[in-house]
Amino acid sequence: MIRFRLLIALMMMTFTGLAQVEAGIGAELGFPLMFNGKVNGHNHASGAPGARAVLSYTPGNAGFTGTVVAGISPMILPVVRFNGGQDVLYMNFTNINVSLFGRFRKQMPGDAVLMIGPGVGVNMLKGNNVQISKRSNNDIGRVIEDSTFYNKTTIPSFYLNAEYMRPINSNSKVYYGVGVQLQYIYFLDQGNTYRVDIIDKYYNYYSLKPELVGQVLNPMVFVNLYYRL
């Protein structure tokens, strides 16, 4: 029994010694684009800056890295045109997401690494408020009713990710990573219609019934700072 425990302990020490583990934090900037028949070409609202925490694990001598990313950011999506197509109503969300990546890695000069691969995750969206497109001269004078505030939805998302990572200097355990990412979200049509009654700055009254349907593409750039454990 003692020999068995000793063998297990030696195996765990060897496994841990061969593996690479990096923990880090970072910042990101996304540009979510909504595609559906209700926005008619007005796909983009605004940039979405966010924060992220990252944990990567690479088995010894392996050509791939498993990475878990947890992030939080705003997400502003155009949902419907109104006022003869001149104005667009946006829904504003807080977006909390957790994703898992499996990335192929290629060793580069200077102890740098290039990692590319797909990922899958889950997004938890919580509605905050609505606004009118800043591309028009209009604005909301008063919100009478906004049921999107109570909108909470959890949806899957899919990713393609590429990151270049290298140490701050030779023999350092601190690494930086810069990368790009493409996120895809599909909103299933669940028949949920929201009610938004507003008065614009010209005192026109609108009773809108937006729906959260369609597809979102969210291209993103990010920067991470890692510590190799």
Number of structural domains, the chain?
1
pLDDT of 41 higher than 70 = yes
Residue 116: give the domain boundaries: 19-73+94-124+150-194+213-228
CATH number of the domain at 170, please. Answer: 2.40.160.20
The tokens describing 16, both together, are 């841990």
Asked whether residue 78 is domain-assigned, the answer is: no
pLDDT of 164 higher than 70 = yes
Q: How many CB atoms lie within 10 A of CB 74?
A: 17
CA 16-60-63 angle, to 5 degrees, is 150
Q: How far apart are CA 188 and CA 80, in angstroms?
A: 16
Asked whether residue 117 is domain-assigned, the answer is: yes
Give the model confidence (pLDDT) of 115-152 as tens digits. Answer: 999 999 999 999 888 888 766 777 887 877 777 667 78
Asked whether residue 130 is domain-assigned, the answer is: no
Asked whether residue 26 is domain-assigned, the answer is: yes
Q: How far apart are CA 6 and CA 177, in angstroms?
A: 38
Instruction: Give the H or E element holding residue 16.
Output: helix 2-18
Asked whether residue 188 is domain-assigned, the answer is: yes
Mean pLDDT calculated for residue range 154-176: 93
Mean pLDDT calculated for residue range 48-60: 93
Residue 9: the pLDDT is: 45
Residue 158: the pLDDT is: 97
What is the average pLDDT value for the chain, to the nearest integer? 85
pLDDT of 224 higher than 90 = yes
Residue 156: the pLDDT is: 94
Give the model confidence (pLDDT) of 89-108 as tens digits. Answer: 888 899 999 999 999 999 88
Asked whether residue 108 is domain-assigned, the answer is: yes
3-class DSSP state for residue 168?
Answer: coil
Q: Could you tell me what percent of the chain has a pLDDT over 90?
A: 46
Whether the CB-CB separation of 219 and 182 falls below 8 Å is answered with yes
Asked whether residue 81 is domain-assigned, the answer is: no
Asked whether residue 144 is domain-assigned, the answer is: no
Residue 4: the pLDDT is: 44
